[in-house]
Chains A and B, each alone.
Chain A
Amino acid sequence: MRTWFKIALRNLKKNRRRSLITLLAIALGFASVCLFGGFTQYMYDANQEAAIYGRALGHLTVFKQGFLEQGQLDPARYLLTTEEIESIRGICTANPQVVMVTPQLQISGLVSNGKISTIFIAHGLVPSSIDAFMNGMKLFKFLEFEGRKLEDDSPYGVAVAKGLAKLLGLKVGSNAVVLSTTVDGQTNALDMEVFQLLNVDTEFLNNKVMRVPLAFAQQLYDTRGADRMVVLLDRTENTEPVFKQLRTAMQELGLGVEIKTWKQLSQWYQKVRDMFDLIFLFLFVIVFVIVVMSVVNTMSMAVLERTREIGTLRALGLKRRGVLLMFGIESSFLGVFGCGVGLLLTFMVRAWVNFAQPTWTPPGISASVPLKIILLPSYMVSSGIALVALCVLASLLPALRGSRQNIVDALGHV
């Protein structure tokens, strides 16, 4: 075996320039797969974080059975009562992985500055729970509002999207009125004060969205209930097991509720993932083609140049598969060294990213955030193995031709 390694290495060294070009192609391919993979991982992680923490979806959400299908049409019927809220809270807080359980209520209606009015939708949440969510933001960390924080003690202080505020001519400190119908069908109006101007990136939402204290939402709808209980866990990896535990516990109590994970609720996250998976596939196909083409080219030249050598080795008793092995080893060396250089390139780029800290404005985010590359060792190892295997497979094409030729013809080759 050592002899074949020696032959492979020395031949690669002998054709230094050719080997180097192939090696570089493999290195660039590997580095781009690693770096793009690292960027994709960053996008996954950041969007996961944005869903769970940024949009306060939490890891798990408990609804009344049927809310997701019919809740929009008949909100009153699908609200969780205070008793249900307490039972859910009891079950959840008993689980050691649960960090926070908090009720939320989404409302809609009209908002008016006295002269003009427009529709709004608002997320009603407990102001003191907001920090727990925002503290989870590590990758897309930015100040998402101007003004002051919402407070448990100031139920009329609300946050308004900048687009909506502009529409109504509202500033921090301005007052306005919201109108809606209560769960009993009565018209209700409440005064509000603008505490915050929110950065909302989606055009469609920018002139509609508000964030209000839960008490405000409850008062407008004239209820003490909530439409969901949001559960925050210590670690995102625990989502699935805790999901199953809580679901069983709630079924046993016969609560008539359903529980969803953040993944089930966040279509955005899934869409980002699908898109990046597609881009990644595209990149991988390009890398695949480049690597296969350069390895096939290099090994074809090697087989051609060493035709007489193949004939000699066959005459000395080397079997056909021995010829395949010889070129397979040579090409796997190209793969291994290529990946090695690619790894170096990857780390160099990441070091630069960590040092220069470039910022960018990702889609769905209204501020620029530092770009990161999250390298997963398992991912890099499997890409490296795949690439080396690809090199070996690509070498088989020319090597098969070399191994099958007539020995006498090979020996007579000049």
Chain B
Amino acid sequence: MRARNGENLLIEMDEVTKIYTLGQTRVEALKGISLKIGYGEFVAVWGPSGSGKTTLLNLIGMIDQPTSGRLCFGGREITSLTDNQQSDLRNQAIGFIFQGFNLIPVLSALENVMLPLQIRGEKLARALPAAQKRLAQVGLGDFIQQRPDKLSGGQRQRVAIARALVTEPSLVIADEPTANLDTTTAMKIVDLMRELNRGENTTFIFSTHDQRLLAQVDRLIDLQDGLIRGEEYRR
């Protein structure tokens, strides 16, 4: 595994902390995380609620800034990037899958999937086939014109997965992607993510507090109280 050899790393975190201050109270959500993740890994961040999973994923996904420490993405130190540069990097290199699906309600499944491409200014002639391909890949080829409110939870999350993959990112971040789904659907979603990870060598990091979903993962990061308590390589 490349990650263990320390070369060609996608993500490198060094003593990263995150402290939330709410008036007088300070919450140390992350207390010093050092972590290396290589291209193509399928990583689960596991831990009880409040352990800092969401915070960790937000920092890796560049939608939040660490309080201290070093965080590199694809070899670039990201804390020194401007907001616009981070936005560009998110658009090019990262796909997001949210717990609440976060589809745009006024757009159809197809339009939702095309969105990341259109944010970067891609022409419709290129965005359309890419989005159609991804929707077919997640098994929603027949539902492309539906608005999100006409789809089931599992279908919505499939649309979200198609949206996350349409830009062919190097990393997909999924924060508790199955928390709003029943067990069978949740299993299917994890299977789908695993399949896409294998097929295209896209790195996946997802968080969960459900042990049943961990069977598929290569690597398990056990988060406890803002610290990595243990790591486990499954394969």
In whole angstroms, what is the CA distance A126 to B173 when docked?
Answer: 94
B111 within 8 A of A: yes
Are A317 and B98 in contact, with the CB atoms below 8 A? no
Q: Which residue on chain B has the smallest CB distance to residue A4?
A: B118
Contact A408 to B63, CB < 8 A, known contacts A312-B98, A317-B92: yes
Q: Report A247 CB to chain B, min CB distance, Å.
A: 60
Query: Which residues of chain B are near A14, meaning CB under 8 Å?
Result: 105-106
Beta-carbon contacts of B59-92 to A below 8 Å, as 1s and 0s?
A: 0010110000000000000000001100110111
Query: Which residues of chain A are near B27, meaning CB under 8 Å?
Result: none
A315 within 8 A of B: yes
Q: Report A152 CB to chain B, min CB distance, Å.
A: 79
B58 within 8 A of A: yes
Contact A308 to B102, CB < 8 A, known contacts A3-B115, A316-B115: yes
Chain B contact patch, size range: 20 to 34
Q: Which residue on chain B has the smallest CB distance to residue A404?
A: B83
In whole angstroms, what is the CA distance A22 to B165 when docked?
Answer: 39
Are A313 and B107 in contact, with the CB atoms below 8 A? no
Residues of A in contact, count (CB < 8 Å): 24
B119 within 8 A of A: yes
Q: Which of B103-131 contact A (CB under 8 A)?
A: 104-107, 111, 114-116, 118-120, 124
Contact A411 to B98, CB < 8 A, known contacts A2-B124, A312-B104: yes
Query: Which residues of chain B are near A260, meaning CB under 8 Å?
Result: none
- Of the candidates A2, A3, A309, A314, the one having the most CB atoms from chain B within 10 angstroms of its own CB is A3
- Of the candidates A317, A320, A322, A407, the one having the most CB atoms from chain B within 10 angstroms of its own CB is A317
Query: Which residues of chain B are near A318, meaning CB under 8 Å?
Result: 87, 91, 119
A10 within 8 A of B: yes
Query: Which residues of chain B are near A322, meaning CB under 8 Å?
Result: 119
B96 within 8 A of A: yes
Contact A317 to B114, CB < 8 A, known contacts A7-B104, A11-B106, A408-B63: no
Are A315 and B64 in contact, with the CB atoms below 8 A? no
**A315 CB contact (under 8 Å) in B84, B96, B106:** B96
Contact A316 to B83, CB < 8 A, known contacts A2-B124, A407-B63: no
Tell me how many residue pairs across A and B have CB atoms closer than 8 Å: 72
Query: Which residues of chain A are near B91, meaning CB under 8 Å?
Result: 316-318
A138 within 8 A of B: no
Are A407 and B92 in contact, with the CB atoms below 8 A? no
In whole angstroms, what is the CA distance A72 to B44 when docked?
Answer: 102
Q: Report A154 CB to chain B, min CB distance, Å.
A: 82
Are A316 and B106 in contact, with the CB atoms below 8 A? no
In whole angstroms, what is the CA distance A3 to B116 when docked?
Answer: 11
Are B63 and A411 in contact, with the CB atoms below 8 A? yes
Query: Which residues of chain A are near B120, meaning CB under 8 Å?
Result: 317
**B90 CB contact (under 8 Å) in A3, A309, A316:** A316
Are B106 and A317 in contact, with the CB atoms below 8 A? no
In whole angstroms, what is the CA distance A130 to B105 when docked?
Answer: 73
Are B111 and A317 in contact, with the CB atoms below 8 A? no
Q: Which residue on chain A has the smallest CB distance to residue B160?
A: A312
Are B106 and A314 in contact, with the CB atoms below 8 A? no
Q: Report B69 CB to chain A, min CB distance, Å.
A: 17
Are A319 and B106 in contact, with the CB atoms below 8 A? no
Q: Which residue on chain A has the smallest CB distance to residue B93?
A: A317
Q: Report B71 CB to chain A, min CB distance, Å.
A: 15
Q: Which residue on chain B has the smallest CB distance to residue A318?
A: B119
A148 within 8 A of B: no
A378 within 8 A of B: no
A244 within 8 A of B: no
Contact A317 to B104, CB < 8 A, known contacts A406-B64, A408-B64: no
Q: Report A102 CB to chain B, min CB distance, Å.
A: 70
Are B63 and A315 in contact, with the CB atoms below 8 A? yes
Contact A7 to B107, CB < 8 A, known contacts A319-B83, A322-B119, A407-B64: yes
Interface contacts beyond A2-B124, A318-B87: sample of 14 additional A-B pairs, CB < 8 Å, sorted by A:
A3-B107, A3-B111, A6-B111, A10-B107, A309-B102, A311-B63, A312-B96, A312-B102, A313-B119, A316-B163, A317-B92, A317-B119, A320-B87, A322-B119
Pairs across A and B, CB under 8 Å, 27 listed: A3-B111, A3-B114, A6-B106, A6-B111, A7-B107, A11-B106, A14-B105, A308-B102, A312-B96, A312-B104, A313-B104, A313-B119, A315-B61, A315-B63, A315-B96, A316-B90, A316-B116, A316-B119, A316-B163, A317-B90, A317-B116, A317-B119, A320-B83, A320-B87, A407-B63, A408-B63, A408-B64
Top 5 A-B pairs ranked by shortest CB distance? A317-B91, A10-B106, A407-B63, A312-B102, A317-B90
